């Protein structure tokens, strides 16, 4: 079986003779005397496409055979036209070659090995077995793009048994002959079974997106080629929106966002101190009462508790309810003398809701109306 994808990685369509067809999961397993369909391997996903009228939804290498999983059967001995999904293949080749360039540069610079490689739906991740400071990313990216724009050849070859020991390729341990070598002169030499671009220029662009600690080393996220421009377009559009929202230059949105955060922090502090003064003023109105039931619109949960605490400082039992009949109420009961939990639990048992707490404080929610809650407390007072 001829592996056309190794002879020329840019074959998009081909004809071949069907050598086998057998029922398989979800369809048929078809073998050919030659194929341009790359099976999955080396971190690169398989090609998909068409064989005649049938859809090829997966391709796997089993022993020396490449198995095409198709939705329709093929006639053994017949000639069939194959067409691969080229956009998908070219994208995978761009990511894979970009990975070689970046891994080669990192190996040359730090001596670290690529210990994990994954082409995800959006980004590519590469794991290295040593630390790389995030500040180094622009330097690595510049070198990678320089190698791409030099349009270096990507040479794929099998050294003879005698040549192999003399090839200085990136590896953690020696591999048994035969080994397929992928070499980008001056940048990287590596054992690899992937379908590769012919020249680095085809990668177009490498964009390193992040570098975070991972096990003993780091995980770098990146995107190459069209993926890189797609991601950069998304990010640029987000930044444009931020720039408009903050009326800031597109290159100064970070400063504008930080300034806005500081303003927000100061405003939060100011409104918290105003709230505190307001709560003390409200509490004054309940001074000396046995039971205080107070309604407020839309307080934050902790503000509701603070208001309740302020009122409980001047009366026996404080009940605060924040919300509205439409949205329901969050409830807080605080008492330094009576059993706050019993007050809250009784209200919920009667009017519905949920909550919990201890003897001195209870918090919960109820969807009862203000009228029902006021009547409930009026009835309690009448019974007492
Ligand atoms: Zn590779």
- From the CA of 124, how far away is ligand 1's center (Å)? 13
CA of 17 to the centre of ligand 1 (A): 29
Q: How far is the CA of 68 from the centre of ligand 1 (A)?
A: 22
The pLDDT value given to residue 300:
87
Rounded Cα distance, 105 and 110, in Å: 8
**Cα 191 to ligand 1 centre (Å):** 7
Domain 2-84 bears CATH identifier 2.40.50.140: no
Tokens representing residue 362 in the block:
């209870």
In DSSP terms, 81 is beta-bridged to 15
pLDDT in tens, 256-271: 999 999 999 999 999 9
Alpha carbon of 100 to ligand 1 centroid (Å): 6
- Using CA atoms of 271, 273, 327, 314 in order, give the dihedral in degrees to the nearest 10: -160
Dist. CA 105 → ligand 1 center (Å): 14
Whole-number Å distance between alpha carbons of 76 and 228:
43
CATH dotted code for 90-233: 3.30.980.10
Residue 137 phi/psi, 5-degree rounding, is -55, -45
- What separation in Å is there between the alpha carbon of 87 and the centre of ligand 1? 19
200 Cα to the center of ligand 1, angstroms: 13
For residue 192, how far is its CA from the centre of ligand 1 (angstroms)? 4
User: Nearest CA to 52 among 25, 34, 75, 29?
Assistant: 75
Ligand 1 centre distance from Cα of residue 180 (Å): 10
Which tokens sit at 133?
Answer: 């400071």
Give me ligand 1 centre to Cα 13, in Å.
23
Say how far apart CA 209 and CA 221 lie, in whole Å: 5
261 membership: H or E segment, kind and range: helix 253-284
Q: In terms of DSSP bridges, do strands 65-70 and 54-62 run parallel, antiparallel, or are they unpaired?
A: antiparallel
Between the CA of 190 and the centroid of ligand 1 the distance, in Å, is 7
Q: Ligand 1 centroid vs 25 CA: distance in angstroms?
A: 29
SS3 category, 88:
helix
Q: Give the mean pLDDT of the chain.
A: 96
Which two three-digit tokens encode residue 342? 């019993």
Counting residues of the chain whose pLDDT is more than 70, the rounded percentage is 100
Using one digit for the tens of pLDDT, what is the confidence trace for 306-363? Answer: 999 999 999 999 999 999 999 999 999 999 899 999 999 999 999 999 999 999 999 9
The answer for residues whose C-beta is within 8 angstroms of residue 349's C-beta and 6 or more apart is none
Tell how far the Cα of 305 is from the centroid of ligand 1, in angstroms. 60
Tell how far CA 376 is from the center of its chain.
Answer: 50
Q: Where do the domains of the chain lie?
A: 2-84, 90-233, 273-383
**pLDDT of res. 173:** 81
Residue 172 has pLDDT above 80, yes or no: no
**DSSP class per residue in 287-322:** TT-SEEEEEESS--HHHHHHHHHHHHTTSSEEEEEE
Q: Average pLDDT in the 89-102 region?
A: 98
Q: Is 279's pLDDT higher than 90?
A: yes
With vertex at residue 227, the alpha carbon angle to CA 90 and CA 248, rounded to the nearest 5 degrees, is: 160
Span 275-302, average pLDDT:
94
- What pTM was estimated for this model as a whole? 0.79
Instruction: Find the 179 Cα to ligand 1 centroid distance in Å.
Output: 12
CA distance from start to end of the chain: 95
CA of 99 to the centre of ligand 1 (A): 7
Q: Residue 250 pLDDT > 90, yes or no?
A: yes
Token digits for 310? 């302020």
Torsion sign across C-alpha atoms 359, 363, 367, 369: positive
Report whether 330 contacts 321 (CB < 8 A).
yes
CA 110 / ligand 1 centre spacing (Å): 19
Mean pLDDT across 40-62? 95
In this structure, are residues 291 and 317 in contact, taking their beta carbons and an 8 Å threshold? Answer: yes
Distance 213 CA to ligand 1 centre (A): 23
- Ligand 1 center–CA 148 separation, angstroms: 16
Q: How far is the CA of 107 from the centre of ligand 1 (A)?
A: 14
Rounded mean pLDDT, 98-125: 96
DSSP letter for 153, please: B
CA of 114 to the centre of ligand 1 (A): 10
Tell me if domain 90-233 and domain 273-383 are identical in fold.
no
| Contacts by residues 307-313 (CB-CB < 8 Å, ≥ 24 positions apart) | 307/279, 307/282, 307/283, 307/332, 308/332, 308/333, 308/334, 309/334, 310/276, 310/279, 310/280, 310/282, 310/283, 311/279, 311/282, 311/283, 311/286, 312/336, 313/283
How many whole angstroms from 15 Cα to the centroid of ligand 1? 27
Residue 36 confidence (pLDDT) above 90: yes
CA 88 / ligand 1 centre spacing (Å): 17
Q: What gap in Å lies between CA 318 and CA 332, rounded to an integer?
A: 8
CATH 3.10.310.40 fits 273-383, yes or no: yes
């Amino acid at each position: 079986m001829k592996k056309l994808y190794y002879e020329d990685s840019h074959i998009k369509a081909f004809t071949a003779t069907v050598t086998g067809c057998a029922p398989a999961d979800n369809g048929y397993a078809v073998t050919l005397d030659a194929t341009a369909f790359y099976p999955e391997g080396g971190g690169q996903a398989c090609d998909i496409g068409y064989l005649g009228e049938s859809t090829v939804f997966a391709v796997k290498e089993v022993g020396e055979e490449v198995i095409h999983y198709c939705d329709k059967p093929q006639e053994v001995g017949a000639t069939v036209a194959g067409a691969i999904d080229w956009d998908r293949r070219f994208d995978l080749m761009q990511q894979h070659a970009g990975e070689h360039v970046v891994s080669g540069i990192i190996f040359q610079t730090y001596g670290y090995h690529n210990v994990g490689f994954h082409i995800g739906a959006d980004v590519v991740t590469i794991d290295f077995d040593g630390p790389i400071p995030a500040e180094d990313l622009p330097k690595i990216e510049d070198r990678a793009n320089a190698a791409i724009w030099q349009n270096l050849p990507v040479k794929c070859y099998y050294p003879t048994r005698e040549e192999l020991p003399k090839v200085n390729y990136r590896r953690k341990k020696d591999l048994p002959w035969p080994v397929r070598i992928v070499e980008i002169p001056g940048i990287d030499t590596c054992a690899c079974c992937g379908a590769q671009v012919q020249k680095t220029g085809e990668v177009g662009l490498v964009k390193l997106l992040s570098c975070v600690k991972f096990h003993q080393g780091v995980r770098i996220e990146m995107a190459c080629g069209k993926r890189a421009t797609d991601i950069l377009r998304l990010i640029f559009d987000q930044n444009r929106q931020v720039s408009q929202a903050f009326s800031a230059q597109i290159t100064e949105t970070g400063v504008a966002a930080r300034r806005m955060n500081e303003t927000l922090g100061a405003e939060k502090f100011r409104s918290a101190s105003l709230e505190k003064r307001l709560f003390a003023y409200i509490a004054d109105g309940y001074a000396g009462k046995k039971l205080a039931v107070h309604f407020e619109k839309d307080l934050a949960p902790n503000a509701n508790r603070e208001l309740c605490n302020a009122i409980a400082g001047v009366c026996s039992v404080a009940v605060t309810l924040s919300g509205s009949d439409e949205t329901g109420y969050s409830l807080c009961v605080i008492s330094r003398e009576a059993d706050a939990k019993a007050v809250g639990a009784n209200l919920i048992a009667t009017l519905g809701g949920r909550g919990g707490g201890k003897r001195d404080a209870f918090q919960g929610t109820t969807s009862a109306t203000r009228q029902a809650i006021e009547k409930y407390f009026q009835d309690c007072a009448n019974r007492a």
